[in-house]
Structure 1
Amino acid sequence: MIKFFRKIRQKALTNNKFSKYILYAIGEIVLVVIGILIALQLNSKKAKSDTFKKQQNYLALIKGEMKNNLLTLSNESEDLLSIIENNRKIIALMDSDSAATAINENDLSSLLLMPISRAISIDYENGAFKELISSGGLKDIHNDSIRTILRSWESKLITIKEQENALRQSLNKTIEYVEAHGNYRAVFDRIGLSEDLNINLSSKVTTNKHLLTSQKLENILLNYLACAIQLHEKNYPTFKNDIQSLIDMIDKELKK
């Protein structure tokens, strides 16, 4: 079409028909402009399509990570509950001289094991989330609600990690106290760990009942219990709800 206009324009110029030359020249320019606009529109559509596909891919990856995090949270919450229950039982024994005297070493060793051995720490999956943020792709997430949640996700993780660190510090204090004032051999012998380690049972009388009279250990366990309850009853449930809400929103977005 442009070649057609060019030939007519050249013919008009040859025949000294300047007005027609101008007219056809304008027509040629209009065609060029239209062609450019069409090309820009096609490029824009392709760019939008590429951005949409990239967004869907990121959301699918983030959804997978969040589902794994949700499962890990549920598993860790169960162990955290065991720690809470054991700490409560030990503190209850400390409040009752008769109960502390009556409990046998096997049961006491079982109660002591969880608070001195089980650390709660979750390695949250967030590789896709980090890549999305570092690539500047967050702005391309069309759903405002999803974008808002993702923007605040790092701060949510920091809050959870801080509480987990507080719990770990309480665990370390408990371990340090029992190592200094308790008898690990008594625990190992009575829970079967000595046999697993292929060592003989102690020939000496071993006990940890004296720990039940320690005010310092009680203080440590109370702080331990408070940190564990905060994590189990407040931080984790809130975080689970946030994760599930994000998964549900991503599901809806991926179906579009």
Structure 2
Amino acid sequence: MISIFRKIRKKFFSNKLSSYLLYAIGEIVLVMIGILLALQVNNWNEERKQNIQLKSILKKVRIDLVADTLRAKPILQFYDSINKYSTKVINKDYDAKTIQSCLLCRSLTTLYQPFVVQDKGYNMLKNFEELETRKNDSLQNTILQFYKQMTDMLDQSNEFVKSETLKNLDYFKSQPWFVDWMQGRFTEDMKDYFGESVDYRNRVASNFILASQNHANFIKVHRDNAVELIDQIDDRLESN
């Protein structure tokens, strides 16, 4: 009889232990599932926040690009005028008798227009890219590469053209007619220099290549690429 009770008790405790183990395992699985779901929801929320932030940054980049394209227009028009009259001076279309009729001709080498890139949105995008883990966004990478290349190029071009312009202005300062030139008067010596001298034609030719051509071309490249980026940003914003 005792042996029978022992068997019953053993079976009872064995079943109870199995039930406890199954219950404990089930609880652990439920907790793990809950944690995974919470992590997934958190990831979704973080991704949503990142998308909202990126969308806001792209809008700012777009505003900067539009501002750049608008700013480029009058600068390129300015250099078109410089090119037009520089070509006339280089080709000797003017001489000492006719140079006075061209007011811009006496200032071709002492005028320049810098082009400053609007980069607030770009800096925001750089900071966003450094903080977030997403590195495979093609539009984001394209914008960052575009700004890095064009900003460096235009900054160097601005400094170079400015330096050349100041050199020409310093040369003018050394001439006896500088005060007359500054005050808009045209003396006989000035007519000879601006209308006949090889030195001035050389300076105009140099400025034509370095400023009117190279500098203006950099601005055109920036403008044209900015227009393309604006279209890409619009497509991204519309798709979101």
Q: TM-score, normalised by structure 2?
A: 0.81
- What does residue 36 of structure 2 align with? 37
Preserved contact between residue 51 and residue 140 of structure 1 (Cα < 8 Å):
no
Confirm whether residue 164 of structure 1 aligns to residue 158 of structure 2: yes
- What does residue 236 of structure 1 align with? 219
Preserved contact between residue 96 and residue 196 of structure 2 (Cα < 8 Å):
no
Number of residue-to-residue matches in the alignment = 222
Worse overlay, 122-131 or 137-146: 137-146
The DSSP-based 3-state class of the residue aligned with 2:112 is coil
Output the aligned Cα RMSD.
2.5
Preserved contact between residue 73 and residue 236 of structure 1 (Cα < 8 Å):
yes
- What does residue 124 of structure 2 align with? 131
Counterpart-to-counterpart distance in 1, 2:132 and 2:113? 31
Q: C-alpha displacement at 1:251, in angstroms?
A: 0.6
Preserved contact between residue 157 and residue 215 of structure 2 (Cα < 8 Å):
yes
- Aligned AA (2:201): E
- Pairwise mapping of residues 20-169 of structure 1 onto structure 2 (< 5 A)? 20-92=19-91, 95=92, 99-103=94-98, 105=100, 107-116=101-110, 118-135=111-128, 136=130, 140=134, 143-169=137-163
Q: C-alpha displacement at 1:187, in angstroms?
A: 5.9
Higher relative contact order (CA 8 A, sep 6+): 2
Counterpart-to-counterpart distance in 2, 1:238 and 1:138? 30
Preserved contact between residue 109 and residue 186 of structure 1 (Cα < 8 Å):
no
Over 3 Å counting, the alpha-carbon distance change for 1:84 and 1:140 in structure 2 is same
Over 3 Å counting, the alpha-carbon distance change for 1:104 and 1:48 in structure 2 is closer
Preserved contact between residue 66 and residue 230 of structure 2 (Cα < 8 Å):
yes
Counterpart-to-counterpart distance in 2, 1:168 and 1:67? 25
4+ runs of 1 displaced by more than 6 Å? Answer: none
Identity over aligned pairs, percent:
19
- What does residue 171 of structure 2 align with? 177
- What does residue 6 of structure 2 align with? none
Q: TM-score, normalised by structure 1?
A: 0.76
- What does residue 210 of structure 1 align with? 192
Write the deviation string for residues 58-111 of structure 1: whole angstroms up to 9, x where unpaired: 11111111110111111211112122222223333xx36xx4133163x24442
- What does residue 220 of structure 1 align with? 203
